[in-house]
Structure 1
Amino acid sequence: MLKEYRFYKNWTQEDLANYSGVSLPTIKRYEAGNDNATTTNLKKIADALEVDVSNFLSPNLSPKSKKNVSQSTNLNKNLSPNQTKLKKPQEESFYYIPKLNINASAGGGNEVEGLEHYESGELMAIDKAFFKTIPSTNIKAIRVDGYSMTPMLFPDSWVIFEEGSDFKGDGLYVLNYNGQLMVKLLQLNPFENILEIISVNKEYKSYSVKLDESQISVLIKGKVLRSVI
């Protein structure tokens, strides 16, 4: 796991040692599975890699490292003055996207207003080549439940979406419909001002909402950029 996150950064073991303040021989022992990480060193490494320390809680790490887990801080927090002058590694080839700890259901869920309150502290690493254009910084990842969008999306798929309340053309969206958090296809008939909320799986219900007359709340949470099945 440690090696995987280091590769995401395009860092060598020496880079990780320099940025974390943990010695190179210690880094090598951890990656080889020859030693258990202490809580202090685990936190330093997580901070340097800009991930939550809980991502490293595995059988290869010390059980006592499960204590005092906290969210990662910025890259330079634990660096000495000499270390901050080091040349940065080459540009990262990954985006790190916040994961939400709620699911977007095929049919039902809880009403959600501010998605920022549901960030888990974990990050999803996605290769930049996965995107056709550079996404905004306001992107998040959410897991999908249920079968209403199969075969487009299956249960436990993840969708990456740009958070926002605007309709940006027909496509796949995360939305709150009548108190239910969903991932659905949206199509707008501009002549009749009717929003079609579509389930790909025909065994599940789709909805038509006349926007200027309906009493049902439709809150767009963001347009889906990509899915990870």
Structure 2
Amino acid sequence: MDIYEIRKHNLIKLIGNQRKGSCAERWGMAPAHLSQILSDKTAKNLGDDVSRRIEEVEQLPRGWFDSIPSDEEARATSPDPDAGGKTAADLVKQMLAKSGKNIPELTRQRLLEAAEVSTHLEPVNSHVHQIIRAEGEISIPQYDIRAAMGHGQVPSEYSEVIRNVVIREELLREKGVTYTSAQALGVITGWGQSMEGTINDKDPVIVDRGVNDYEGEGVYVLTWHGDLLIKRVQRQDENHVWLISDNRNYEKQSARIDDITIHAKVLLVWNARKI
């Protein structure tokens, strides 16, 4: 086994039965980045910087990832699923299960919703922002991510939330926008000219990070050969898709489905053009 295989082996053991999204959040990683490292379909490896950061967060010895621990060492260093690895939502659910029998159902739902939003929006090692929302509004985190609409951006290993955008759910419904969940929404920035006419250079776009597979023709945030792109994706045949630039000055490209990783589906340009 080379160093990256050893690290992947240790990463899988470290995660155990924990939710991958919670682990990614605790370690300051984008969930899609963690999924790439764990996937057998991509060549994404666990690098030195991220390894050291996870070791620090989990209070593991420096270099723990670089060798296979004995079973006894693994048991001693693995996080307790009933302890510090829990999200705000997990803790609220535990509290409600133990002592929430007399809490009205509407109050229970609001507590759970608030905890889910808090869990999703608070990045590791950042200041906690108090987000006050009116009834019918949702808070969407804007990430410091540039997705290229041209030759490609190298995806960052750490995606920071730079602000939160509050929007009325009614507005999304009026635009015919549907999404997997409010907690899966995010805002990123398009970069380049290849999608011009649909998404212009430096346009913020709302994306649904709950979509990680091809769901028919649409505009997706994806990684292809190491580059982070925003492209219109269209089925070509059983094993290939077209990566299409809406700017006609750019030619469409054929890509093997196994060579692309879909991180999100683009729902709306911030100037409110539905795509």
TM-score range, shorter chain: 0.5 to 0.7
Say which of 99, 109, 117 aligns to 2:142: 99
Distance 1:179 1:205 in 2: 20
More strand by share: 1
Q: Does 1:71 align with 2:71?
A: no
Say which of 106, 127, 142 aligns to 2:168: 127
Partner of 2:194: 148
> Does the CA contact (< 8 Å) of 1:184 and 1:197 recur in 2?
yes
Q: Number of residues paired by the alignment?
A: 141
Code of the aligned partner of 1:140: G
Partner of 2:249: 203
Distance 1:143 1:160 in 2: 9
State how 1:147-166 maps to structure 2 within 5 Å: 147-163=193-209, 164-166=211-213
Distance 1:73 1:95 in 2: 13
> Which stretches in structure 1 are left out of the alignment for 5+ residues?
1-49, 53-68, 76-88
Distance 1:128 1:134 in 2: 11
Identity of aligned residues (%): 28
> Does the CA contact (< 8 Å) of 2:207 and 2:268 recur in 1?
yes
Judge which range, 120-129 or 192-201, deviates more: 120-129
**Pairwise CA distance, 1:185:** 0.4
Deviations 1:10-47 (A, max 9, x none): xxxxxxxxxxxxxxxxxxxxxxxxxxxxxxxxxxxxxx
Partner of 2:267: 225
State how 1:45-60 maps to structure 2 within 5 Å: none
**Pairwise CA distance, 1:112:** 4.8
**Alignment TM-score, normalising by the size of structure 2:** 0.46
Distance 1:134 1:204 in 2: 29
Code of the aligned partner of 1:178: H
> Does the CA contact (< 8 Å) of 1:168 and 1:223 recur in 2?
no
> Does the CA contact (< 8 Å) of 1:95 and 1:126 recur in 2?
yes
Larger Rg: 1
Q: Does 1:167 align with 2:214?
A: yes
Deviations 1:149-205 (A, max 9, x none): 11011112111111142111110111111111111101113x443211100112124
Distance 1:134 1:181 in 2: 22
Code of the aligned partner of 1:71: V
Distance 1:174 1:194, change over 3 A: same
> Which stretches in structure 2 are left out of the alignment for 5+ residues?
1-117
Code of the aligned partner of 2:243: I
Say which of 207, 214, 225 aligns to 1:178: 225
Distance 1:134 1:106 in 2: 23
Distance 1:74 1:149 in 2: 33
> Does the CA contact (< 8 Å) of 1:94 and 1:126 recur in 2?
yes
Distance 1:201 1:121 in 2: 29
Q: Does 1:187 align with 2:219?
A: no
Distance 1:70 1:111 in 2: 24
RMSD: 2.7
State how 1:105-124 maps to structure 2 within 5 Å: 105-107=148-150, 108-112=152-156, 117-124=158-165
> Does the CA contact (< 8 Å) of 1:192 and 1:210 recur in 2?
no
